[in-house]
């Protein structure tokens, strides 16, 4: 089975995000980067499917040269081929990104045959636009379902069964291969790279694919960083003052909040 996973280099979750003075970009001087969490699970799912079917996993990213770090990480956990679509410093909206990825994937398939299954993360951790995977699937003329939490491939029937969680159960989709799926975090537990995997990843060839995608109709107007809300914890009493004093403090607070009349 031939699988492709599209990943994105994003700021590390939980990091403090600062905006440049002009409000148009993220200040990256002291910022760590990683792969979007949904896409980490997509890579793991592809590796598991490849291991079960004696297949191969190609991981592709569109981004700056530094995105090689994320590709090497994917290789350290089982990806067999790495592809970088380099970008310049200008803004890449979802339309332009999807057009570039679609062209790159079409070129890879022209050389090596169609991918049986293409996986995206449900959405990227930074932009959260939910658009790129859908746009790429449409450009390739393939079915897509997002929000996937389970995947089963029936090679004999040439189909993939995908499950999407809904209230009270799952929606089940049976798609003909080749197909595209948007994977959601929690479908699996991504493995950690071993030292052997880290060393082997340095030897995996990195292919660079150039594309000429024109800017789309979307543009960023301004990035807004909300003011931080600081919560404080107030200790009303502790064991040293006794239960009576503590209970009295709780009653006073409830009256202050208007809970007690």
Coil, strand or helix at 152? strand
Coil, strand or helix at 155? coil
| Tally of CB atoms within 10 A around 126 | 15
Using CA atoms, how far apart are residues 238 and 3, in angstroms rounded to an integer?
59
Instruction: Give pLDDT tens digits for 58-78.
Output: 999 998 899 999 999 999 999
* Bond prior to 218 in cis (omega within 30° of 0): no
What tokens appear for 170 in the block? Answer: 């799952």
98: nearest Cα among 128, 65, 67, 131:
131
pLDDT level of residue 34 (50, 70, 90 thresholds): confident
Instruction: Give pLDDT tens digits for 221-238.
Output: 777 777 777 777 777 667
Using CA atoms, how far apart are residues 260 and 258, in angstroms rounded to an integer?
5
At 52 the pLDDT is 92
Instruction: Give pLDDT tens digits for 145-181.
Output: 999 999 999 888 899 999 998 888 889 999 999 999 9
172: nearest Cα among 184, 181, 161, 157:
161
Q: 2 and 55 in contact (C-beta within 8 Å)? A: yes
Using CA atoms, how far apart are residues 66 and 8, in angstroms rounded to an integer?
11
Using CA atoms, how far apart are residues 39 and 185, in angstroms rounded to an integer?
8
Q: 183 and 42 in contact (C-beta within 8 Å)? A: yes
The partner residues of 3 in beta bridges, in order of sequence, read 57, 117
Taking residues 13-37, report their average pLDDT. 75
């Amino acid at each position: 089975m031939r699988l492709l996973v599209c990943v994105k280099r994003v700021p590390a979750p939980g990091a403090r995000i600062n905006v440049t003075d002009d409000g148009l970009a993220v200040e990256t001087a002291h910022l760590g980067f990683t792969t979007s969490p949904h896409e980490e699970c997509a890579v793991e799912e592809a590796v598991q499917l490849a291991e079960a079917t004696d297949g191969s996993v190609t991981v592709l990213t569109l981004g700056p040269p530094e995105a090689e770090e994320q590709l090497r990480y994917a290789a350290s956990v089982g990806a067999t081929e790495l592809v970088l679509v380099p970008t310049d410093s200008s803004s890449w909206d979802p339309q332009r990104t999807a057009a570039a990825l679609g062209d790159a994937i079409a070129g890879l398939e022209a050389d090596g045959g169609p991918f049986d299954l293409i996986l995206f993360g449900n959405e990227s951790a930074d932009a959260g636009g939910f658009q790129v995977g859908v746009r790429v699937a449409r450009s390739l003329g393939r079915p897509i379902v997002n929000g996937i939490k389970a995947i089963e491939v029936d090679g004999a029937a040439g189909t993939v069964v995908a499950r999407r969680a809904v209230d009270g159960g799952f929606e089940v989709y049976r798609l003909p291969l080749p197909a595209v799926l948007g994977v959601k975090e929690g479908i699996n537990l991504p493995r950690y790279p071993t030292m052997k995997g880290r060393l082997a990843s340095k030897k995996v060839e990195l292919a660079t694919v150039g594309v000429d995608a024109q800017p789309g109709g979307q543009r960023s107007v301004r990035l807004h960083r909300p003011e931080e809300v600081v919560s404080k914890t107030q200790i009303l009493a502790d064991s040293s003052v006794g239960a009576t004093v503590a209970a009295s403090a709780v009653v006073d607070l409830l009256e202050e909040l208007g809970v007690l009349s």
